[in-house]
């Protein structure tokens, strides 16, 4: 039995996320976690809310709430929505937790002891209008690299280039829009990433199986321009983890907090401590400390491409620089962006579908299937309502749902609600088993390799094989002349429903559970041997006809939703 540690990028606390955020990290991570559990492996799947930094302060200010109260409320909201999408986290933590405070301060102290933190006197943007220093995310302007007009002071979301606020053209305050910004002197701590460039590069080069998207972004940051730069790890903010050297005060750093991108990845480790402290698990160190048993753990991270630099460079620099026996990531699965109807999702303009809205419209499985089967792996992907409607209607309703309905209803009408006996497999059935065994091998390899779209396509092909068999065998016609053969064909069909449900559970867990319950085998195991799997339900085994597994989306619904989420104001 293998052990899999799985983390998805932790979402910012500032509001409900859209479908692109979901498919860029949490949903494919859940797919992989569910698959590995189904194979009998031990899994620890962790996520959390990222609660510090400028986004939290700005969102709380807009909501008219104290920031701590706002974060607590939004954590509950995000946790509830994650549950609605059936994201199977073992723990959904908070970066503001006491565990993360202590661990972040610990890492800072150790890195300082190793000579990897330096104190820098620098000038920083100060807004006389706002009466405060403006951390990087409080400043927006035009990117000097690509010309994007809404680049942030730390990074351009358009070209992913790392920036400093002073690099921006025509900078402005996010708080007030003021442009009367001036540079004033302040002190901050920097992580000396530049001294670790060779070590980081050698580590990245050793990951020969990583996706091209992941390694290309990491290499770009390592080698573009002047190469890997030291990174500021403190900010002049009120909300965050106070700057300490372990449990000791840090002279000169009074009133400052750690930068969100320093403490947020450390929350992956802290969330395992929270998991134990919440009474959900035990012995978190066997997952994170190689001197405590984590050397046999396979650690996989899932994230959008904008998060790759921090997970391939800054967080590994923290781990490696500590010289302590912490578990490093083995594989980083990164994703491109999901766009919406020819443009971007926009909270401010009400453009696109956000996670809470999606669940108001349709159950989670509809969204899970479309998002995973269209995951933006090799390039950006595009959500359109026409494509969504077509995929749901053809894949889920016509192929999977219709098969389950036809088989169970025909059996009930001719043989009752028990698996019928009689008849023996012939050439058609033997050929079906061989084809399914071949496809199952493909599906397993693709799921192991985290090839999300290919896995979905193969799963659909497996569903199609059963439909083609049913059409070719035509038990409704066979029954008139040869009831025993028809009984065998339907018995095989019922076993196919069970087979499909087990394989489909990582993608569409609610539908899979419904079908397994209808087949009277809720705890069915992963079917390595198709021959045995298609004989698992014996003659006389009771079943029920399931409710409609998936309904079709009407043209009227599609048009209504398209208008509702277009972002156009009436």
pLDDT mean over 379-394: 97
Q: Is 347 among the annotated ligand-binding positions? A: yes
- Tell me which H or E stretch contains 132: strand 132-133
Over the stretch 189-207, which tens digit does the pLDDT of each residue have? 999 999 999 999 999 999 9
Do residues 13 and 56 lie in contact, with contact meaning Cβ atoms separated by under 8 Å?
yes
Q: Is 104 among the annotated ligand-binding positions? A: no
The reported pLDDT for the residue numbered 352 is 93
In order of 120, 196, 376, 500, 545, the CA distances from 520 in angstroms are: 66, 57, 37, 14, 11
Structure token digits, residue 138: 């409080």
CA atoms of 565 and 568, how far apart (whole Å): 8
CA atoms of 512 and 234, how far apart (whole Å): 47
The reported pLDDT for the residue numbered 347 is 78
Q: Is 156 among the annotated ligand-binding positions? A: yes
The reported pLDDT for the residue numbered 517 is 97
Over the stretch 52-76, which tens digit does the pLDDT of each residue have? 988 898 899 889 999 999 999 999 9
The reported pLDDT for the residue numbered 62 is 87
pLDDT mean over 77-86: 98
Over the stretch 97-114, which tens digit does the pLDDT of each residue have? 999 999 999 999 999 999
- 422-450: string of b/e by CB count within 10 Å (b at 16+)? ebebeeebeebbebbeebbebbbebbeeb
Structure token digits, residue 326: 């912490």
pTM, full prediction: 0.92
- Domains of the chain listed by start with CATH number: 383-533 (1.10.730.10)
Q: Is 159 among the annotated ligand-binding positions? A: yes
Distance of CA 497 to the CA centre of its chain: 28
| 569 has pLDDT over 90 | no
Do residues 214 and 74 lie in contact, with contact meaning Cβ atoms separated by under 8 Å?
no
Residues whose CB falls within 8 Å of the CB of residue 369, separated by 6 or more in sequence, listed in order? 391, 392, 395, 396, 456, 507, 508
Q: With cut-offs at 50, 70 and 90, classify the pLDDT of residue 570.
A: very low
Higher pLDDT, 433 or 221: 433
Q: With cut-offs at 50, 70 and 90, classify the pLDDT of residue 348.
A: confident
Over the stretch 237-283, which tens digit does the pLDDT of each residue have? 889 999 999 999 999 999 899 999 999 999 999 999 999 999 999 99
pLDDT mean over 311-317: 96
Q: Is 411 among the annotated ligand-binding positions? A: no
Rounded mean pLDDT of the chain?
95
Over the stretch 151-183, which tens digit does the pLDDT of each residue have? 988 889 889 888 888 889 999 998 889 999 988
């Amino acid at each position: 039995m293998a052990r899999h540690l799985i983390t998805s990028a932790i979402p910012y606390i500032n509001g409900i996320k859209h479908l692109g955020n979901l498919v860029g990290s949490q949903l494919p991570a859940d797919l992989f976690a569910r698959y590995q559990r189904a194979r009998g492996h031990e899994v620890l799947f962790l996520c959390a809310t990222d609660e510090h930094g400028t986004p939290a302060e700005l969102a709380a200010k807009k909501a008219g709430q104290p920031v701590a109260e706002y974060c607590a409320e939004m954590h509950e909201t995000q946790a509830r929505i994650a549950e609605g999408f059936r994201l199977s986290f073992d723990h959904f933590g908070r970066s503001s937790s006491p565990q993360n405070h202590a661990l972040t301060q610990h890492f800072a102290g150790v890195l300082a002891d190793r000579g990897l933190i330096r104190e820098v006197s620098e000038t920083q943007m100060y807004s006389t209008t706002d009466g405060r220093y403006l951390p990087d995310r409080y400043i927006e302007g035009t990117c000097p690299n690509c010309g994007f007009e809404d680049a942030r002071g730390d990074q351009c979301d358009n070209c992913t280039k790392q920036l400093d606020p002073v690099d921006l053209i025509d900078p402005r305050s996010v708080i007030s829009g003021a442009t009367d910004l001036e540079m004033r002197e302040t002190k901050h701590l920097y992580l000396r990433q530049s001294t670790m460039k060779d070590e980081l590069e050698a580590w990245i080069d050793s990951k020969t199986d990583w996706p091209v998207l992941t390694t290309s972004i990491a290499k770009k940051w390592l080698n573009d321009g002047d190469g890997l730069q030291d990174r500021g790890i403190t900010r002049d903010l009120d909300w965050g983890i106070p700057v300490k050297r372990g449990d000791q005060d840090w002279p000169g750093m009074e009133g400052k907090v750690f930068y969100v991108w320093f403490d947020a990845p450390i929350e992956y480790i802290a969330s395992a401590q929270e998991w134990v402290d919440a009474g959900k698990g035990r012995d978190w160190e066997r997952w994170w400390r190689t001197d405590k048993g984590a050397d046999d753990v396979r650690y996989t991270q899932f994230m959008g491409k904008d998060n790759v630099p921090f997970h391939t460079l800054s967080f590994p620099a923290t781990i490696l620089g500590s010289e302590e026996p912490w578990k490093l990531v083995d594989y980083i699965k990164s994703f491109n962006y999901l766009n919406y109807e020819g443009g971007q999702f926009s909270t401010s303009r009400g453009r696109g579908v956000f996670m809470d809205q999606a669940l108001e419209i349709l159950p989670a499985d509809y969204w899970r299937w479309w998002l995973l089967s269209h995951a933006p792996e090799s390039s950006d992907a595009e959500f359109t309502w026409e494509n969504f409607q077509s995929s749901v209607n053809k894949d889920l309703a016509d192929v999977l749902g219709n098969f389950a309905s036809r088989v169970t209803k025909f059996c009930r009408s001719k043989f009752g609600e028990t698996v019928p006996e009689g008849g023996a497999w012939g050439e058609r059935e033997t050929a079906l088993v061989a084809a399914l065994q071949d496809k199952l091998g493909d599906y397993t390899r693709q799921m192991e390799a985290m090839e999300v779209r290919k896995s979905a396509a193969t799963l659909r092909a497996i569903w199609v094989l059963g439909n083609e068999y049913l059409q070719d065998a035509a038990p409704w016609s066979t029954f008139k002349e040869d009831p025993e053969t028809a009984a065998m064909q339907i018995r095989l069909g019922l076993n196919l429903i069970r087979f499909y449900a087990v394989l489909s559970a990582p993608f569409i867990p609610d539908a899979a559970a419904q079908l397994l319950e209808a087949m009277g085998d809720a705890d069915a195991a992963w079917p390595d041997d198709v021959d045995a799997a298609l004989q698992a339900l014996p003659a006389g085994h009771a079943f029920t006809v399931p409710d409609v597994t998936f309904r079709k989306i009407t043209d009227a619904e599609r048009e209504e939703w398209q208008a509702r989420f277009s972002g156009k104001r009436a």
